[in-house]
Structure 1
Amino acid sequence: MRKKWLSLTLCLTFFAFPSGGTLVHNLPASAAPTMSDYEHTLSVVTYNIRGCRTDDGTADPALIISALEPLHADLIALQEVDVRLPRSGFVNQLANIAAGLNMNYAYGPSIDFVIGQYGNALLSKYPIQQADMVSLPSQWEPRSLLDVTINWDGEPLHVLVTHLGVKKSEHSEQTESLLAYLHEQSYKTSLLLGDFNMLPGDPSLESLRTFYKDPLYEENLGLRTLKHPVVPREIDRILHSPDLTYMDAAAPAVGPSDHYPVQMHLTRSSLLTQEAASSY
């Protein structure tokens, strides 16, 4: 049966085209997290879920929910999310995962296969105010940036989710495109996170570090974010604007994907300054 779905998916790739729309779903007020659940500390996760597939090709969103639920994250960026694709049993993976975690979501499909889609998503405990998608230059598979605005403690937080190309020749052009977009938007408080398909020392990441803080690199954490039998690989990252302060990070070895989720805790730098001043 899996071979049948694989053959159909391969056929559909010839009819795939970049998608230009986003989808936002906020929970009704009666089901949404209350303000007492909101903390000044922000728990953020990025996770390439590989279409919720296990190593044998079985797609099961429940396994992703089980991996993410214990993390109690406020924001979860997902890559390789299938929506109604044959290889995943025509399931809306994002809606399933969001329902299981009781979170709002935004979806930016990088590829539209006519009968289904594939792309990046953001799950959020906070109401989503806006979501836009920007296409990135690509040599093979279409790549994109999902730009989501949420209200965090009364101020806008811009969360940018991406999944960059696997070819080294794409990295420079894609990071330049990201930088141009960031300079154009001039966001005060923002995150850039996802699967960058680059090791920490890649020159293309240096340009992004002129705009963002990269704690995994600065702290030399060497997290294993991609499963590898011999060499640990850190290709999934969470970058943040300078007005946020890094607290800690980890990449728990959980879930069915070939990636591990990366979790980071952040807070506003201004809050730490206020706390320090009040202690005198």
Structure 2
Amino acid sequence: MKYKHLLLPLSLIVSATAFAGGHREPYQAQTDLINKTFSVEEAPTLRVATFNMAAGRVSSLTEIAKAIKALNVDIVAIQEVDVLTARSGKVDQPKKLAELTGLNVEFGRAIDFEGGQYGLAVASKHPILKTAITELPSGEREQRIAFEAHVDVPGFDAPITIFNAHLDTKEDPTMRVEQVRELNDTAIDSRGIKLLLGDMNDVPHSATYQELSRYWNVVSDEAVDFRSWPASNPEIQVDYVMTGKAQKWHVENITVPQNNMSYGDINWPAVTDHLPIIVEMKMIEQ
């Protein structure tokens, strides 16, 4: 089942249902964002990160907030976030992180858990205009979602749409592939500038990765060690930053702070069990 927390007039819903033949209808292709190219010198710059905070189970929320501030990014997609759960001491973690970091923070509920909620969040230096949740196929396992946030970043001609995802953990990739297809089915209808960040719980060149690559460009560099889990002695990459195929980006810098790399004076393995992926890039085609 897929749903979004965006309300449309009933007349539009009826019209779309009655006349649309499915995806890639002409009305779905309409956008005010025209194709345009920029020189590297003139291109707008964006810094983003993906960060699994393990619901504060490794360190305190104060330490997590310090780590998020140290990322110094425009937008960070955060996985494993609690709201008023027993295990996190009935703390509203997104609200507290907003207070501690000074960032705009929005939460997307995946499940009810221990008297509260558990899900994903997006934090940004810039206004978050709207959000939406898409439920991903999860069977009898933990419900997974894609959390969509539209962020108004200065210098860009349109809001940037961030899709934050935390996919299934089972070794068999079948469920993750289904989840990616549902995510892609939602994202392809979103016009404009878009990125996908998150903990995909699978490695490069896997079936999950190949399915993601159909609709997204994975930010990569052979010179960068992308192993992100476990943070104390990284073995595999499961965390990713991806860009939509309508845009082209010039990557300026990629940072994965391994335990022998100082970044922002943070002892990253002491904060959570995943290392963040931090990317600074310039959009050379929108």
Please give the TM-score of this superposition, normalised by the length of structure 1. 0.76
Cα offset, 1:219, TM superposition: 3.8
Alpha carbons 1:175, 1:205 under 8 Å: kept: no
* Secondary structure class of the residue paired with 1:213: strand
Partners of 1:228 and 1:257 lie apart in 2 by 7
1:65-214 pair list within 5 angstroms: 65-113=65-113, 115-139=115-139, 140-152=141-153, 153=155, 154-167=157-170, 168-185=173-190, 187-214=191-218
Distance 1:19 1:111, change over 3 A: farther
**Residue 19 and residue 203 in structure 1: after superposition, are their counterparts in 2 closer, same or farther (change >3 A)?**
closer
Sequence identity of aligned pairs in percent? 27
SS where residue 191 of structure 1 aligns? Answer: strand
Q: Secondary structure at the match of 1:141?
A: coil
Unaligned 5+ residue runs, structure 1?
Answer: 1-17, 23-38, 272-280
Contact persistence 1:244–1:266 (CA under 8 A): no
Paired with 1:183 and 1:199, the residues of 2 have a C-alpha distance of 23
Structure 1 residue 179, shift from structure 2 partner: 1.6
| Aligned partner of residue 206 in structure 1, secondary structure | helix
Shift in Å, 1:190:
0.4
Q: Which has the higher contact order (CA 8 A, sep 6+)?
A: 2
Alpha-carbon distance between aligned partners in 1 of 2:74 and 2:234, rounded to the nearest angstrom: 31
* Rounded Cα–Cα distance in structure 1 between residues aligned with 2:101 and 2:233: 33
Would you tell me which structure has more helix in proportion to its own residues? 1
Match in the other structure for 1:40 = 44
* SS of equivalent to 1:155: coil
Aligned length in residues: 232
The aligned residue for residue 62 of structure 2 is: 62
SS in 1 for 2:152: strand
CA spacing shift, 1:115–1:21, aligned 2, 3 Å: farther
CA distance in 2, matches of 1:229, 1:65: 19
Q: Could you tell me whether the CA contact under 8 Å between 2:134 and 2:145 is conserved in 1?
A: yes
Cα distance in 2 between the residues matched to 1:143 and 1:101: 27
- Per the TM alignment, residue 220 of structure 1 is displaced from its structure 2 partner at its CA by 6.5
- TM-score for the superposition, normalised by structure 2: 0.75
Alpha-carbon spacing, 1:262–1:230, altered in 2? closer, same or farther (3 Å): closer
